[in-house]
Amino acid sequence: MKSDPTLTPKAVSVRTSATVLLQTIGPEEAGQRLDNYLLRWAKGVPKSHVYRIIRSGEVRVNKKRAEPTTRLVEGDVVRLPPVRIAEPAQMAAVNTAQTKSRAKTYSEKMPILFEDDALLIVDKPTGLAVHGGSGIALGVIETLRITRPELKFLELVHRLDRDTSGVLLLAKKRSALVELHRQIREGQTDKRYYLLAHGEISQGNSVMQLKFPLHKYLLANGERRVRVDPDGLPSHTALRVSKSFQREGTAITLAEAQLKTGRTHQIRVHLQKLGHAILGDDKYGFEDQDKLIKSKRLYLHAHLAGFTHPRTGEKMRIESPLPFEFEAMMKAFDQPEKTTKEKSPTEDATKR
């Protein structure tokens, strides 16, 4: 799904706050980082400017300088300097009839897997970014804010790459967002992905523990990339092979990856390092092999999210079925003569 240039927001009128503002943090704002708070307050202001006014000391918390990562607490007083902010009414004007129509179309292709008064969990399609950005007017969050205007608060709990499909959690309450972020930080969530990789991955009955340190960097054009680097941050993926498929001397493997850490592009880089890049990966994959087997998408799907409900304390297990593109690709290959002896959760995937 390519971005539609006609949907890129036009320049909107702005107002200049001529005086310093003092904002007291309430219960709904508490728990979030200072930079995220400012980015929501200063709609239409470049991120670079927001970070500049924090680092310069123009923004203060309880009369003291603060870092972008400072966690706000209820009752904190935030000093906001004069800054040019887009008028809410004019920001709303960006939602033209065409944009609303596109948002409705996106929403119809994004099934709701679970919803209550605290959470909204959707099945994100491949090709749809989780939020808008350069050249992208509509992501998941913008789509849902347009199509669900009754939701006064809606924020992403985590992210998925644009071309990754599957389970995506959003919070409808600030308290739910803060609690789920705590669970993620403390490793109390379970996130698992199905993937199709190039080649036959030999594993046996064990689970492969991939622990490659990752370093994030930028290309000359500003695009993010990640590589394995001894000085990088620790990362850990548990990989469980399900089946391999053969066709005319070419093999692919269906596997399940369980995230133990959540680094940018972690699974994709780990599989590349293993020598079995994910099918359709335009950043870390095998372009020639993708052309040979006609990969049409990134074959990475977030199929399961396990966590504790932030309000009820109930153990939640939200699942998304294997996408039809996976089914079609596996059917295009012959069934293997051998499968792994230990039955894994992915062995039933091709029967769905």
User: Residue 287: CA atoms inside 13 Å, Cβ hemisphere, count?
Assistant: 2
* Active-site residue flag, 35: no
Distance, in Å, from the CA atom of 169 to the CA atom of 113, rounded to the nearest integer, reads: 10
Distance, in Å, from the CA atom of 298 to the CA atom of 253, rounded to the nearest integer, reads: 14
Distance, in Å, from the CA atom of 29 to the CA atom of 74, rounded to the nearest integer, reads: 7
Would you call 319 helix, strand, or coil by DSSP?
Answer: strand
Contact by Cβ (8 Å): 44, 86: yes
182: DSSP letter: H
Alpha helices in the chain (DSSP H): 34-41, 47-55, 88-93, 97-108, 140-147, 174-185, 266-274, 287-293, 324-331
Tokens of 272: 């590349």
Rounded alpha-carbon distances, angstroms, from residue 157 to 6, 111, 263, 277, 309 = 29, 17, 15, 27, 13
**DSSP per-residue letters across 185-242:** HTT--EEEEEEEEESPPP-TTSPEEE---EEEEE-TTS-EEEEE-TTSB---EEEEEE
Point out the catalytic residue in the list 35, 161, 163, 281. Answer: 161
Q: Mind telling me the catalytic residues?
A: 161
